[in-house]
Amino acid sequence: MRRQFMNPLGVLMFLLAVSGVALAQTYGTKGYAPGAWKPEKLPKELSAPRPFDPHDLSGVWSMPTRGFEKHSLTSKPLALEHVPNEMKQTSVPPPMTAWGKARLDETKVSYGPRSVPPGTGNDPVSTCDPLGYPRDLWEANLRPFEFVQASDRVLQHMQYHDVWRTIWTDGRALPKDPDPAWYGYSIGKWDRDTFVTDSTGYDDRTWLDHFGNPHSDQMHLQERWRRVDADSLEVNMTLTDPKAYSEPWVSDRIVFVRAKAAIFEEICAPSEENRFNDRVRDAAVGKSKP
């Protein structure tokens, strides 16, 4: 039986519920403003369905912050760990292998029942390491991403860290033994009106989510993207990682809406992050600089 990811709605609700210090610990980048990326509110005269090309994924996309039922987002979980009581999982994650459990035990996270005090975690984001994928996709709750299409590739541009993920569409196959990369190696093709992306070669230092759930360098991720209408884009994902998990995970249908504004520069600069560590994280646990 295939299992479910945790719904990004749950991630968003949790992030907005945590304290300012905990929020800053993951989202401490200068210039971040909660709620900055809300779905475009169209004038009434433009709210009717508009023509669109189902093979055109281009545009800036974000997760809606309200009207979830309109976009058919479910209440089932998308990720992988426990969440507070008000966001209890409606399914359980697939059993981890011994390797997966050992890696999970190494993580020290700031969220959920496994959380540690601020300043004592080891989330890679706190040192400006790349988030990796699909974790970076959950950032669309708070930060948008965009698709840019070229003749031989589709580029997925993530605002956080200014990441450009390349999805090759020139007919090449996935490499059999790729060098591990933060965002893996991806190829894509059209299956009628669905853009199917397959990716492997992920660096196992990244986490799948901010709850610290691991993956191995054997992870294979398939995404099925479909343009629903002029202002909606959906994706279904299947994650297979036999080294870390005994069964595949299958996501619920996740819907993104067209964002109102363009992506802006949001770099995680080590100098700024270190200053935040010194002034906020270390202070939270009574540490002082030597």
Domain boundaries, the chain: 3-40+105-284
pLDDT given for residue 141 in this prediction: 67
Check pLDDT > 50 for residue 78.
no
Q: Is the dihedral of CA 65, 71, 76, 80 positive or negative?
A: negative
Residues near 116 by Cβ (< 8 Å), separated by ≥ 6?
108, 109, 110
Q: pTM higher than 0.95, yes or no?
A: no
What is the pLDDT at residue 50?
67
Q: Average pLDDT, stretch 129-158?
A: 90
Quick one: DSSP state of residue 245? Answer: B
User: ∠ CA(220), CA(222), CA(226), 5° rounding?
Assistant: 165
**Which range among 111-120, 176-185, 247-256, 273-282 shows the weakest confidence by mean pLDDT?**
273-282
Give the separation between CA 181 and CA 242, rounded to whole angstroms.
19
| Residue 113 or 39, more confident | 113
Tens of pLDDT along 15-72? 333 333 322 333 333 333 444 445 445 555 555 556 789 999 999 998 875 433 332 2
Our CA angle for 192, 258, 208, nearest 5°, is 75
Q: In this predicted structure, what is the pLDDT of residue 249?
A: 86
Percent residues over pLDDT 90 in the chain: 42
Backbone angles phi, psi at 188, to 5 degrees: -145, 155
List, for residues 177-222, the tens digit of each pLDDT value. Answer: 999 999 999 999 999 999 999 999 999 999 998 888 899 999 999 9
Give the pLDDT confidence score for residue 49 in this predicted structure.
57
Q: Where are the beta strands (DSSP E) in 21-87?
A: 59-62
- Phi-psi category of residue 132: left, alpha or beta, with phi > 0 → left and psi -120 to 50 → alpha: left
Residues 6+ apart with CB under 8 A from 109: 115, 116, 121, 123, 210, 211, 212
Residue range 161-181: mean pLDDT, rounded: 95
